[in-house]
Amino acid sequence: MNDRTKKVTYRALGVLLSGLACFHLSGCASARMGDTKTDSLFRSGDYDGAAERLKKGLDKEGIEGRDGLLYLLDLGLSLHSAGKYEESIKYFLMADKAAEIKDYTSLSTEAATLLTTDQIKVYKGEDFEKVLINVYLAMDFALKGDREAAIVEAKRVNRKLYLMQTEGKRKYQQNAFARYLSGALYEADRNWNDAYVDYKYAADLMPTFPLLGVDLYAMAWKLKDRDDQEKWENKYSLTSADKAVAKARVAKDRPAEVIVLFQNGISPRKIPDPGFHSIPKFVPRFNPVNSAEILVSGDASGEELSAQTERLMNIESVAIENLSEKWGGLLAKKLGGIVAKEVVGNAIDRQTGNSGIGQLIKLALYVSDQADTRSWNLLPKDLQVARFSVKGGTNSVKIKPVGSPADLPAKTIQVKPGEKVFVTFRYMP
């Protein structure tokens, strides 16, 4: 066997061993996706326990490791759910940096995995996951009362989506939740013009979202746009009571307001596509709750207000649609991988005198080519909103997920007269 043949053979054997190591899950298994203990802690409401376990996993994996981004995402979300917004922001900013890439659609980074499995590469996140990093940063800043920073992050959401549309040729829409959140934040600052712009954008994206009727009418009333007042009144069938609430919200002595952000359920699970096992597919997980009843009571009034949450972002459907949008590109890559495996295997056999090593290599590579089923595991199914005008002072917020046998723990918040306070809850089945 000459030197060239030896080099080819040894290189092929190295690929073979790498592929077999991945197949037997000793080298390519996702440590984060296999950590069901963390998921159980989060599901039980022990967000601090989940965060501590994720920190240990991140220390072991390293930020630049294959699962580094997964640990950062779930760690940021666990700390967010625990109410530790400063820490959550820290890890989400690290995740945003780790997920940053120049070209959202380039398949150049996929070339190294043509012969083996996508699981050997560093996880960079799905497009919708990268967008949700900034959605959660916006929520974190809003929840800690930093409205300016929250608006910046909400704007970054739609900037990312714009880049995905223009540079990536994706069919993604702007994010109605981010637009609505920034609208509410501008309204909190009495920046009526910018609030109106964002509410109108949200209405374009989610025209059936029922809360927008009062929001839009309130801004039109404040800006003395009578044509728009009539338009929103007719479009949303606003009652006299609705219009009275809208006018009060933009009055000089406006009431305080509690804005509830309800994170409902669990996001879809990524599995191998039954029709092509080396390509991933999102499938829904069990979610018995579609909405929640919110009850708010204040010491100042003693009365209890109630409302139903309304869904503003369906993460489940976005995840499924985004991955389906990429299916053609993933299939093209896998078909290219089939050709590459055949070429490599046949070349090795030719170089080694039809020794059969090439056929073994091909077999190992086909077996090791598994779908990359990693994803941001603790995301909710959807994001929902409810709003209450309240008197200033201490207010208790209770939440009853409709379809769940148990209520979530109540939260007590302080609201200054005329101010808006955000509060969040998470339900897990």
Cα–Cα distances (Å) from 159 to 79, 152, 220, 319, 383, in that order, read 26, 10, 26, 19, 20
Query: What values do phi and psi take at 189, rounded to 5?
Result: -85, 5
Q: Does a structural domain hold residue 339?
A: yes
Give pLDDT, residue 232: 98
Sheet containing 393-401, strands listed edge to edge, beginning at the edge strand earlier in sequence? 304-308, 292-298, 393-401, 408-415
Give pLDDT, residue 174: 85
* Model confidence band, residue 316 (pLDDT cutoffs 50, 70, 90): very high
Residue 198 CB contacts under 8 Å (≥ 6 apart), including other chains = 179, 180, 182, 183, 186
User: Which of 143, 213, 204 is CA-nearest to residue 179?
Assistant: 204
Least confident of 58-72, 343-357, 409-423: 343-357
Percentage of the chain surpassing pLDDT 70?
78
Calculate mean pLDDT across residues 42-55: 97
State how far the Cα of 295 lies from the Cα of 300, in Å rounded to an integer: 15
Q: Does a structural domain hold residue 85?
A: no
Highest mean pLDDT among 1-5, 281-285, 337-341: 281-285
The residue ranking higher by pLDDT, 363 or 199, is 199
Model confidence at 72: pLDDT above 90: yes
User: Which of 14, 5, 4 is CA-nearest to residue 365?
Assistant: 14
B/e letters for 195-223, b = 16+ CB within 10 Å, e = fewer, are bbbbbbbbbebbeebebbbbbbbbbbbbe
Q: Does a structural domain hold residue 239?
A: no
Model confidence at 103: pLDDT above 70: no
Q: Does a structural domain hold residue 42?
A: no
Give pLDDT, residue 311: 97
User: Which of 292, 295, 296, 294 is CA-nearest to residue 381?
Assistant: 292
Would you say how long the chain is, in residues?
A: 429
State how far the Cα of 329 lies from the Cα of 118, in Å rounded to an integer: 14
Alpha helices of 102-146 — where are they, by DSSP H? 127-143
Domain that holds residue 197: 3-30+101-209+255-427
Residue 288 CB contacts under 8 Å (≥ 6 apart), including other chains = 403, 404, 429
User: Which of 222, 179, 185 is CA-nearest to residue 203?
Assistant: 179
Give pLDDT, residue 296: 94
* Model confidence band, residue 25 (pLDDT cutoffs 50, 70, 90): very low
Give pLDDT, residue 90: 98
Q: Are 231 and 269 in contact (CB under 8 A)?
A: no
Return the SS3 of 299. Answer: coil
Give pLDDT, residue 331: 55
Give pLDDT, residue 105: 36
Give pLDDT, residue 114: 44
Q: Are 33 and 418 in contact (CB under 8 A)?
A: no
Computed on alpha carbons and rounded to an integer, the radius of gyration of the chain in Å comes to 25
Alpha helices of 266-353 — where are they, by DSSP H? 315-325, 327-351
Q: Does a structural domain hold residue 177?
A: yes
Q: Are 93 and 137 in contact (CB under 8 A)?
A: yes
State how far the Cα of 110 lies from the Cα of 390, in Å rounded to an integer: 53
State how far the Cα of 38 lies from the Cα of 21, in Å rounded to an integer: 26
295 pairs with which residues across the strands? Answer: 306, 398
Calculate mean pLDDT across residues 66-90: 97
Q: Are 140 and 80 in contact (CB under 8 A)?
A: yes
Give pLDDT, residue 163: 86
Give pLDDT, residue 165: 82
Model confidence at 208: pLDDT above 60: yes
Give pLDDT, residue 3: 57
Alpha helices of 238-314 — where are they, by DSSP H? 240-249
* Model confidence band, residue 314 (pLDDT cutoffs 50, 70, 90): very high
Residue whose pair of structure tokens reads 């007719």 in the numeric block: 234
Model confidence at 69: pLDDT above 80: yes
Q: Does a structural domain hold residue 315?
A: yes
What pTM, to 2 d.p., does this model score?
Answer: 0.86
Q: Which two tokens stand for residue 220?
A: 């039109």
Give pLDDT, residue 166: 83
Return the SS3 of 385. Answer: strand
Model confidence at 350: pLDDT above 80: no
First to last CA, the chain: 62
Model confidence at 303: pLDDT above 90: no
Calculate mean pLDDT across residues 70-86: 98
Q: Which two tokens stand for residue 104?
A: 């959202």
Model confidence at 115: pLDDT above 50: no
Model confidence at 167: pLDDT above 70: yes
Report the mean per-residue pLDDT for the chain: 85
Least confident of 152-166, 316-330, 348-362: 348-362
Q: Does a structural domain hold residue 374?
A: yes
Give pLDDT, residue 110: 46
Model confidence at 136: pLDDT above 50: yes
Q: Does a structural domain hold residue 197?
A: yes
Give pLDDT, residue 74: 98
Residue 244 CB contacts under 8 Å (≥ 6 apart), including other chains = none
Q: How many domains does the chain have?
A: 1
